[in-house]
Amino acid sequence: MRPETLAQNVRDALRDPVLTGALRRATDTFAQRRQGAVGSLPDWEELRTQAAAIKAHTLSRLDHFLEQFVQRAEAAGTVVHWAHDAAEACAIVQQLAERHGAARLVKSKSMATEEIHLNAALATSGREPVETDLGEWIIQLAGETPSHIIVPAIHKTKEAIGQLFVDKLGVPASSEPAVLAEHARQRLRAHFAAADLGISGVNFGVAETGSILILENEGNARMTTTLPRVHVAVMGIEKVIPRARDLDVFLRLLPRSGTGQHLTTYQSLLTGPDPEGQGPRELHVVLLDNGRSRIAADERMQSTLACIRCGACLNACPVYQSIGGHAYGSVYPGPIGAILTPQLQGLPAAGKLPFASSLCGACKDVCPVKIDIPSLLLELRARAVASGNAGSGGRLEKLVWRLWSWCERSPRRHRVAMWLARIGARVPFAAKLLPPLRAWAASREVPKPNGKSFRATYRGEREGGR
């Protein structure tokens, strides 16, 4: 699926009752857990304000904090690489694998590596990494892509996963989560033990110390970043934060927003390699731009980069809840995807995505870093329309607005239009029968025009007052 085929993707998703059922159950559960976890912190709003301020400050001096991060990381023995785009980032990881003769690679969950399609790039030389996050591993077995930022297999029921394991692993049929997890554990352990190179993402890069922080719940990232002799971390340049004590704010916000946990089970804070101890002998950080510096320079859209990838906006979004992640046709789904993907891929490719929103504002309400997603969606919509990238719906919309403008330029035409609207409102189901309104009215109440127009009321009152 691609963002260009959004309308068809949506139709296909809505026709799949298993998908919509699985989505509704999962997003409701996460939303309830988040509610409980947020309620346990009396200073939640204060924390959100602090996080938004830290992010805004960092983005206003991104070059400074990145330079500081690189300097401190290198001083600790980390090798830092700059990648202008996806191809460069993949080439760097590829070369590192070649240089170390690494044939067996493991990877923990990382949206940045999904964004650059790292697995596909490494597969061209027979080095496709084994995904070690349970959800990612399921997706890899199924030959699919993740449909959620933190829960990659959210669209799959446990019965579907059980059948997948029967087909791909030849194990007895079961839909018991504990049994399925045990099958995964057995196989992944062998991969960890044999791996030469581990690949991860980064949740936060601390400029003050040159450290990287990786959050997770399964222990797979811990093993990916310690067992293989080389660890390569791919980090979007927006992941840098100024000070170690800023983590105190983000560590209270991110797990509560994402999974409703007070803290993730594992937090791996890595500062340089660990050649003498039990960690990797080499630590490489690939700093990924891939369009981010362009977004950082766009004052109106810069706050997009404040995202900490918690996934809360996806769980709260009525559109995501109905169509799931694949329908967006991009690595980043949901409200954050609707603003990030058009900026990363450009409006010609993804200009329809900002229209995949009801603008209800639920995403803004739950965002732990207070990104005003509805405003950014409106800005992107305006840009998509102005550049002719709003899709075919844009032409119809233009025609409707032209007609409306023509009516409104003449009092007589305005009166006729209002009269017609009132007549139409009296015909039962009129809006549900007319083709342009049918789809809109299928799931909404069509507002009825007032029985008496403003002009008639005004005239009546004037005459009555005489």
Binding site for ligand SF4 (CB under 6 A): 149, 257, 307-313, 336, 366-369, 371
Task: Find the shortest distance in angstroms from Cβ 2 to ligand SF4.
Answer: 22
Task: Compare residues 249 and 312 and give the one whose CB is closer to ligand SF4.
Answer: 312
Could you please report the per-residue DSSP string of 351-378?
Answer: TTGGGS-----HHHHH-TT---HHHHHH
How far is it, in rounded angstroms, from Cα 5 to Cα 350?
Answer: 9
Residue 232 or residue 336: which is nearer to ligand SF4 going by CB? 336
User: Taking the complex as a whole, how short is the minimal distance between the CB of residue 326 and ligand SF4, in angstroms?
Assistant: 17
C-beta closer to ligand SF4: residue 237 or 308: 308
- Token duo for residue 227: 């067992």
Candidates 369, 321, 268, 357; CA nearest to 148 is 321
CB of 251 to ligand SF4, least distance (A): 14
Rounded Cα gap, residues 312 and 334, in angstroms: 10
Asked if 164 and 195 touch (Cβ cutoff 8 Å), the reply is no
CB of 397 to ligand SF4, least distance (A): 27
Do 55 and 48 contact (CB within 8 A), yes or no?
Answer: no
- Residue 461 C-beta: closest distance to ligand SF4, Å: 50
Which C-beta is closer to ligand SF4: that of 78 or that of 203?
203
Min. distance of Cβ 320 from ligand SF4 in angstroms? 10
Q: How far is CA 388 from CA 155, 251, 352, in A?
A: 33, 42, 11
Nearer Cβ to ligand SF4 (165/355): 355
CA 231-331-354 angle, to 5 degrees, is: 140
Nearer to ligand SF4, 33 or 229 (CB): 33
Q: Taking the CB of residue 206, how many other CB atoms lie within 10 A of it?
A: 25
Q: How far is CA 211 from CA 78, 80, 101, 214, 305, in A?
A: 9, 12, 27, 10, 20
